[in-house]
Amino acid sequence: MKNFSEKSQLKNLPPHLPVMIIGGGIAGAGVFRDLSLHNIPCALIDIKDFTSQTSQSSSKMLHGGIRYLENLDFALVWEALHEKNLWLKLTPHLAYPEKFYLPVYKSSLRPLWMVRMGLLLYDALSSFQNLPHEVASVEKTLDRFPTLKKVGLTGSGVYSDAVVDDAKLTLECIYDGMVSKNSYACNHTSLVNCIKKGSGYLVTLKDELTGEQRDIACDHLIFTTGPFTDNLLKRLDLFPWIPKLMLSRGSHLWFKNDMLKAKGPMVLTPKDGRVIFVIPQKDKTLVGTTEVPGDASFDQMPSDAEVNYLLDNLKDFFPQSDISEDHILGKFAGVRPLVKEDPNATLGKVARDHKVYQPEENIFILLGGKYTTFRIMAQDVVRPLLHKMKMAYRDDLTLRPLRRESHVLPWKDFSLTKELIEKILVDEFPKTEEDLIYRRLGFNSEKEYNQMKKQIDNLNLNLPWS
């Protein structure tokens, strides 16, 4: 193949592959990269664009999950913190460390001394790889957040996590996997049908943009379809499957930086016991997230109730900001695929651990987990698969840096040129206008989208979707 664009076309897939991965979010990208690094021929498909659903709808953080300490999920926090610090080393162009301020008030559920103890434990679980925590005075907190509510403020706990471009990290894991000769990744490609054929499977794939269909034989199937898994497996009817998921939707809003005047990220603790992140990124500030029952539908958007919930809490914590719905630059929502093992657990108490199911000898289903721990999740699928194939699993391979960077990097200025777009078309295979503007160029508000669309139109390019 001459370029990645050719390896993303359904017509170019070989008639037989050892492994087919269904679902191109961060979990599927991690599995695809791991298999490719072990030189296992494989294909990754997604019915939409890669990372266009849950995996681009996070709070844009690599983090241990400080609020999981209250659930005593110490093993998960330890694992996530070590993975966060690993990816800071491997992908400094996609993620950077930040100090998060957690303001504490006299009325807060957790007093400052308790926050201090929690932050010490958080650092310890990172094996003290985190930037060390501290306790900030009222004066230092207000200097950092001048419009923050002053009444009752006793100070802030300050701890270290990381900001990440979630879509770019997913995509670059896929690009890294495609460096391998016999690895293919087809976005906008759906699994129409699947039947058993001997010890393997015959899958019918469809190009969602052209309508083209092909039958591909594969020895193993891996499902990394997140919140869509229960519905997909029910439709395929390959084997008996009891639904495993409890779906939780999280929503976020974008604002201009000058609305809240925050000089860095912070964690708000509303009276309902949840947390809301406020994270400035270049010229915009991200605010989220909510946690409400979700459903397995594509292209989620926040409900009015979720928007009002976030706005009401911002007005409470930033009474001088005069913030309203009119100030929202953009909004998005994603669905967390939580594995519910305790029938009495509420959304906030369902563990974020991942599970691997093997309903048939040659089928693996990966569910749950956190964005930050995707590499470990992938290993828990690829390791037993390779052992089954009588191959040694090498733990060191996924510790290597990614081999292909995006042509447009997050938080960096760039010049939009014909040459740049042509490179992206070849190496990053966007197949729709949204793929290009939202995920390859990284613009995420309606206003930015429309402005970028006009600039691209003025280049008079022969785009595949024109």
Residue 357, CA distances (Å) to 199, 222, 229, 367, 381 in order: 18, 10, 12, 8, 9
Asked if residue 354 lies in contact with residue 380, where contact means CB atoms within 8 angstroms, the answer is yes
Q: Which residues contact 205 (CB under 8 A, 6 or more apart)?
A: 10, 13, 45, 186, 189, 190, 191, 192, 213, 214, 215, 216
Domain residues of the chain, as ranges? 4-54+167-244+350-399, 98-163+246-339, 418-458
Residue 410 tokens, joined: 């997050």
What's the Cα-to-Cα distance from 333 to each of 204, 213, 244, 299, rounded to whole Å? 31, 31, 22, 8
- Note the pLDDT of residue 343: 58
Q: pLDDT for 369-384, tens place per residue?
A: 999 999 999 999 999 9
pLDDT of residue 319: 93
Alpha helices in 67-107 (DSSP H): 74-90
Question: Using 50, 70 and 90 to split pLDDT, how confident is the model at 111?
Answer: very high
User: Contact at 8 Å (CB) between 29 and 177?
Assistant: yes
pLDDT at 67: 86
Above 80 in pLDDT, residue 18? yes
Please compute the mean of the pLDDT values over residues 175-185 and round it to a whole number: 97
- Please write the tens of the pLDDT for every residue from 21-31: 999 999 999 99
Query: At residue 57, does pLDDT exceed 60?
Result: yes
Residue 402 tokens read as 């990614």
* Alpha carbon distance 178, 359 (integer Å): 29
Mean pLDDT of 14-23: 98
- The CA–CA distances, whole Å, from 89 to 83, 281, 373, 394 equal 10, 20, 15, 20
367 forms beta bridges with 355
Going by pLDDT thresholds of 50, 70 and 90, the confidence category of residue 342 is low
Note the pLDDT tens digit of each residue in 118-129.
Answer: 999 999 999 999
Give yes or no for a contact between 8 and 185, defined as CB atoms under 8 angstroms apart.
yes
Rounded distance, CA 276 to CA 285, Å? 13
Q: Give domain 4-54+167-244+350-399's CATH number out of 3.40.470.10, 3.40.50.720, 3.40.50.1820, 3.50.50.60.
A: 3.50.50.60
For 194-203, what is each residue's pLDDT tens digit?
Answer: 999 998 999 9
**CA-closest candidate to residue 95, choices 27, 170, 166:** 166
351 confidence band (pLDDT: 50, 70, 90)? low
Specify the CATH number for 98-163+246-339; select among 3.30.9.10, 1.20.970.10, 3.40.50.1000, 3.40.640.10: 3.30.9.10
Percent residues over pLDDT 70 in the chain? 97
CA distance 385 to 363: 9
C-alpha 138, offset from chain centre: 34
Q: Which of the 8 DSSP states describes residue 294? A: -
Q: Write the pLDDT tens digit of every residue in 148-171.
A: 999 999 999 999 999 999 999 999
Nearest one of 465, 402, 453 to 429, comparing CA atoms: 465
> 1: pLDDT confidence band, cut at 50, 70 and 90?
very low
**pLDDT of 255 over the 90 cut:** yes
Backbone angles phi, psi at 187, to 5 degrees: -80, 165
pLDDT exceeds cutoff 80 at 344: no
Which pLDDT score is estimated for 272? Answer: 87
| pLDDT over 90, % of the chain | 88
What pLDDT sits at residue 273? 84
CA distance 290 to 342: 22
pLDDT in tens, 286-318: 999 999 999 999 989 999 999 999 999 999 999
pLDDT of residue 2: 55
Helices (H), 26-164: 26-37, 74-90, 112-125, 138-144
pTM: 0.95
Among 60, 442, 129, 22, which Cα is nearest to 278's?
Answer: 60
Read off the pLDDT band of 3 (50, 70, 90): confident
Bridge partner residues of 355 (DSSP) = 367
Residue with tokens 């005593």: 72
What string of DSSP letters covers 400-439?
SPPS---SS-TT------HHHHHHHHHHS---SHHIIIII
Rounded-to-integer distance, Cα 107 and Cα 363, Å = 51
The per-residue pLDDT for range 398-435, each reduced to its tens digit, is: 999 999 999 999 999 999 999 999 999 999 999 999 99
Q: End-to-end distance of the chain based on CA atoms, in angstroms?
A: 25
As a whole number, mean pLDDT of residues 228-245 equals: 95
- Reply yes or no on whether the pLDDT at 388 is more than 50: yes
Kindly tell me if the per-residue pLDDT of 349 is higher than 90: no
Q: What's the CA gap between 363 and 195, in Å, rounded?
A: 12
Q: Give the per-residue pLDDT at 346.
A: 58
Please report which confidence band the pLDDT of residue 10 belongs to, taking 50, 70 and 90 as the band edges: very high
How far is residue 293's CA from residue 310's CA, in Å, rounded to a whole number? Answer: 16
Q: For residue 333, what is the DSSP state?
A: E
Q: Do domains 4-54+167-244+350-399 and 98-163+246-339 have the same CATH topology?
A: no
